[in-house]
Amino acid sequence: MRLVVQHDEELVQLATRIPRHIARRLKEFCVRNDVHMQSFVRRALAEKLGRARARASARAQRSRA
């Protein structure tokens, strides 16, 4: 499960605190699936934000109807 990185994007550093058990599960998942944690987190955030945007757009279209 290799993730493709967009080389033309400017990256910023994100520091956050998460519960130890979640960090452990994240690390185990990434090791088992041969993916860097940074890539996994970047993709997970993009997917979550994309779904949230789609839901907001659908709600806006329903309210116009």
Tell whether the model's pLDDT for residue 2 goes beyond 90.
no
Residue 36: inside a domain, yes or no? yes
Whole-model pTM: value is 0.67
Q: Is residue 43 part of a domain?
A: yes
Mind listing the pLDDT tens digit for each residue in 30-53?
Answer: 999 999 999 999 999 999 999 877
Count of domains in the chain? Answer: 1
Is 3 a domain residue?
Answer: no
Instruction: Judge whether 8 lies within some domain.
Output: no
In a domain, 57, yes or no: yes
The CA distance from 26 to 29, in Å, is 5
Name the residue range of residue 41's domain.
Answer: 20-64
Domain membership of residue 2 (yes or no) is: no
Q: Residue 7 has what DSSP assignment?
A: T
Q: Per residue in 37-65, is it b (16+ CB within 10 Å) or e — as a string?
A: eeebebeeeeeeeeeeeeeeeeeeeeeee
Query: Does residue 54 form part of some domain?
Result: yes
Domain assignment present for 41: yes
